[in-house]
Amino acid sequence: MSDIHANPIALQAVLNDSGPFDLLLNAGDIVDYNPWPVESLAKVRKLGAISVLGNHDRDSALNAPIGYNPYAIISCRWTHERLSPSDRSFLLALPRQMKLQVDGVRISMFHGSPRNPVDEYITPECPTEVLRGFLQSTKAQLLILGHTHIPFLEEPLPGRYVLNPGSVGQPRDGDPRASYALLTIEGGDLLRLEHRRVPYEVEKVAEEILRVGLPPFLAERLYYGM
């Protein structure tokens, strides 16, 4: 999963849909935009998710929304004020990349990309040769990316994949449902890579965004997946 963005309601819907799992991978941006950063961070920590650093994790912890649009500047500063010193320290200690083996499958995970781990946007339109280079440089069988809030799955090399699970808490592909992916790994093989979409109580999140005084646009966009 990726890009929860302070939306524990969407996160819980994803957990309800997924059922039991052996390992939870999170490609960054636990906080910001939505109104429950502290609760979302606590939930991710309780779940024992393996996480990498996202740009909003970093910038909310540092109170440094450099280059952000006006709505994101407001939400980043609002989020920073609500994070405790220990919350900020936890976020800033998240690794910029993660490499692990799961039942013999080599997985690399970044919020952005291998060449710019936190900030680069790798969209579904990214040239195949670029994705192939990422797999070769990381030696990964599965490369997991976040940041764009747009799910995609590509196979640039035979049996080796680049996956963006989409966004749990703020999808941007025109579908307002929470997005994540299920992986089934056995005996060194990726048996299943499945994107999943899950409806959740968007209205409840939007109402809280307005109640706490965050920009109305952040509520509106949730209804349209934009």
Tell me what pLDDT residue 92 has. Answer: 99
The DSSP code for 98 is E
CATH of residue 21: 3.60.21.10
Indicate the pairing of strand 160-164 with strand 142-144: parallel
Q: Is residue 60 part of a domain?
A: yes
Tell me what pLDDT residue 36 has. Answer: 99
Six token digits for residue 87: 């919350």
The DSSP code for 127 is -
Q: Which is nearest to 107 in space by CA: 40, 181, 172?
A: 181
187-215: pLDDT as tens digits: 889 989 999 999 999 999 999 999 999 99
Indicate the pairing of strand 152-157 with strand 160-164: antiparallel
Give the pLDDT band of residue 7 (cuts 50, 70, 90). very high
Tell me what pLDDT residue 221 has. Answer: 99
Q: Give the chain's domain count.
A: 1
Tell me what pLDDT residue 111 has. Answer: 99
Tell me what pLDDT residue 208 has. Answer: 99
How far apart CA 151 and CA 195 sit, in angstroms, is 8
Q: Is residue 175 part of a domain?
A: yes
Q: Is residue 25 part of a domain?
A: yes
Q: Is residue 3 part of a domain?
A: no
Q: Which is nearest to 39 in space by CA: 81, 72, 85, 7?
A: 7
Q: Is residue 187 part of a domain?
A: yes
Are 161 and 141 contacting, i.e. CB atoms less than 8 angstroms apart? yes
Which domain covers residue 150, as residue numbers?
A: 8-224
Amino acid at 132: R
pTM for the model stands at 0.97
56-79: pLDDT as tens digits: 999 999 999 999 999 999 999 999
Give the pLDDT band of residue 167 (cuts 50, 70, 90). very high
Q: Is residue 1 part of a domain?
A: no
Q: Is residue 102 part of a domain?
A: yes
How far apart CA 226 and CA 213 sit, in angstroms, is 20
Task: Report the percentage of the chain scoring pLDDT > 90.
Answer: 99
15-58: pLDDT as tens digits: 999 999 999 999 999 999 999 999 999 999 999 999 999 999 99
The DSSP H or E segment spanning 216 is: helix 216-224
Q: Is residue 21 part of a domain?
A: yes
How far apart CA 220 and CA 216 sit, in angstroms, is 6
Six token digits for residue 110: 């970044």
